Chains A and B, each alone.
Chain A
Amino acid sequence: MSRHLPILIVLCPLVGALIVPLVGRVSVRAARGLTVLATMSSLACAVAALREVLSGDDWHYHLGGWAPPWGIEYVVDPLGGGMAVLVALLATLVAIYAGPYLRGFSSLRGATFDSLFLLLTGGLLGITLTGDLFNLYVFLEISSLAAYALLGSGGERAVVATFRYLLVGTIAASFYLLGLGYLYALTGTLNMADLAIRLAAVPSGSAATVGVVLIVVGLAVKMAVFPLHGWMPDAYTYAPPPVTMFIAAVMSKVSAYALIRLLFFVLPAGDAVATARDVLGWVAVAGVLAGSVLALPQKDVRRMLAYSSIGQMGYIVLGVSLGNAAALTGALLHVGAHAVAKGCLFGAIGSMPRQTVQVEIAGFAGAARRAPLTMAAFTVAALSLIGMPPTAGFFSKWYLLRGALEADAWVFAAVLLVSSLLSAIYFFRLLEQIYFADGPPVSEPGQASGVARRSWRVVAPVVTLGAIVLLIGLFNGALVTSVIERALPEL
């Protein structure tokens, strides 16, 4: 059994996605339990596989016993394995979190939601583990299709926003596929390790350049990097709360992982990649500033967080662009820090009573008295996005700053500091409402809006994520030396 751990990580949610709708016809509770079980077993497999890899060599798993480059291989290395653990962890927490949200649904609708959620999880996990470029495309589309359906389930506004996302997402995937075609035509292989060796031997020419450009642009759209971010705020704002929580936390991060994997492990370090990284650097600077500035005037908190995500993705791209050890460490740490913190923030917002007014900043007045635990977690996550010690966000920004200074990139360093200041402004505006403004009077404890209905299944995942933000910050040294440093490419 343990021989097959890498494939089990992906199979658990995929098989779960097939069984859940059937079980849902018999018992809704059993279907829900199965969803949580599938994500949990996936998490257990991912953790076990990562532990194995950290104590030894990378784990190459050949599907069906076909050796690469003929067969598809799954590779668990510290980078991919770490991402898999991150995705599976968020999936488990969101699966628990979704319970109360699904309570009012018909059994068919609830089971469909769970099934799609598991498909999305399986797709994202597949991206983190596969060692095959076309397989990555397939998983990218599996996760995207599931995401379109989930995002669209949030009502009429969500449907329109999702259709626009679908168009953009399909352009991105087609660009990736086309770029893949160029690389395949040059080398005749789709296996990442094989492709890396063969591409290095191909003299750089326009075909390789076009391939690199198409792939980088495609993944950048999926990451919602600044000028390609248009689809994202609407999609995040109108989607159902558990969906936004999961997608905002991990989906763009997984695309960021794919970009890092391709730029540093697959594509040869030639002119095309160097230029792509230069361009990405300036795009990132624009994104960090634009995201922070656009977040300022937003009244809807979800929209504010969506714009903040655009800025935060900019940090990750910035680290990729600088490409030295410190900056990449910062980028990878920020992938984890931001995923956990954003999940916590959207989770906390989703737990607020569902009147539209509540997602406006003013609706948060006095929220700390009504939901002290959730709001404490919210605060920790917000401080992490601003970059306050000892939260995770401080240390990832610290590494990024060190990377920028090592590379003598003063502009990048300045941008990092300015945007931290801007995010402090928009988050403190919110925190002031939560803690110091007078909210609506708390009526009798029994019917206090939301509090009585707020079950542990909503509070526990949010608080756990808040605690993880702190833990990543406190133990960032251990995390960097044991996982991230080993995940870095040879520079």
Chain B
Amino acid sequence: MVSVLSSFGGGQLQYALAAVLLLIGLYGMLVKTNFARKLMAMNVMQVAVIVFFVSLAVRSGGTPPIEIEHEAAVAYANPLPHALMLTAIVVSVSTTGVALALLIRTHRRFNTLDESELLDRLRE
């Protein structure tokens, strides 16, 4: 069982990429004060998770998980993480949509998307 699993996952580099993207996203969400920038950082973070999952599906020397000319795929890449990430992408798109709707309403009312300025206005 474990031996089959260990043939998945590919090299190290894409995990480093996922980690870097995750940290960039978290940094942006925590440090940037503009809500639009925070939202973009959130998207970067979600991409990091997608990169991580898709990397898990990679198999060194693997084929796509389909039969080509009646030749059964033997050592094929894992299709499940791809399916999961399709759902995650849908979630990410909907979250971004809701977030943008909230930002548009905020901007119409307060004419700014700066967090500290907004919080000042709210305390009034």
Contact = CB atoms under 8 A, between A and B. Distances in A.
Interface of A: 134, 138, 141, 145, 148-149, 152, 156-157, 159-160, 162-164, 166-167, 170-171, 173-174, 177-178, 181, 184-188, 198, 202
Interface of B: 1-2, 4-5, 8-9, 22, 26, 29, 35, 38-39, 42, 45-46, 49, 52-53, 56, 81, 84, 87-88, 91, 94-95, 98-99, 101-103, 105-106, 109-110, 115, 118-119, 122
A159 B29 contact: no
A163 B99 contact: yes
Contacts of A159: 102, 105-106, 109
A138 B87 CA distance: 8
A184 B91 CA distance: 20
30 contacts: A138-B87, A141-B95, A148-B98, A148-B99, A156-B105, A156-B110, A160-B110, A160-B122, A162-B102, A163-B35, A163-B102, A163-B103, A163-B106, A166-B98, A166-B99, A167-B99, A170-B46, A170-B95, A171-B29, A171-B42, A174-B46, A178-B22, A181-B49, A181-B53, A181-B81, A184-B56, A185-B8, A185-B56, A188-B1, A188-B5
B45 A160 contact: no
Contact of A160 (B1, B5, B56, B106): B106
B5 A157 contact: no
Contacts of B105: 152, 156, 159
A167 B106 contact: no
A185 B5 contact: yes
Contact of A177 (B2, B39, B49, B119): B49
A171 B26 contact: yes
Contact of A178 (B52, B81, B84): B52
Contacts, number: 84
Q: Report the 10 A-B pairs with minimum CB-CB distance, sorted nearest first.
A: A163-B102, A156-B109, A141-B91, A159-B105, A185-B56, A148-B98, A159-B102, A174-B49, A160-B118, A159-B106
Contact of B49 (A160, A178, A198): A178
Secondary structure call for the B interface: helix
Contacts of B35: 163
A156 B95 contact: no
Contacts of A167: 29, 38-39, 42, 99
A185 B42 contact: no
B122 A174 contact: no
A185 B9 contact: yes
Given A156-B105, A156-B106, A159-B109, 11 more contacts: A138-B91, A145-B91, A149-B98, A159-B102, A163-B103, A167-B99, A171-B26, A174-B49, A181-B81, A186-B5, A187-B5
* Most A-side CB within 10 Å, residue of B2, B29, B53, B95: B95
A463 B108 CA distance: 40
Contact of B102 (A134, A166, A170, A185): A166
A458 to B, nearest CB: 28
A308 to B, nearest CB: 22
A145 B100 CA distance: 13
B37 to A, nearest CB: 11
Given A163-B35, A174-B45, A174-B49, A181 B94 contact: no
A171 B29 CA distance: 9
* Most A-side CB within 10 Å, residue of B8, B94, B102, B115: B102
Contacts of B91: 138, 141, 145, 173
Contacts of A188: 1, 4-5
A187 B42 CA distance: 29
A65 B82 CA distance: 23
Contacts of B98: 145, 148-149, 152, 166
A171 to B, nearest CB: 7
Nearest to A169: B95
B78 to A, nearest CB: 8
Contacts of B49: 174, 177-178, 181
A134 B122 contact: no
Contacts of B115: 164
Nearest to B29: A167
A166 B53 CA distance: 23
Nearest to A152: B102
B110 A166 contact: no
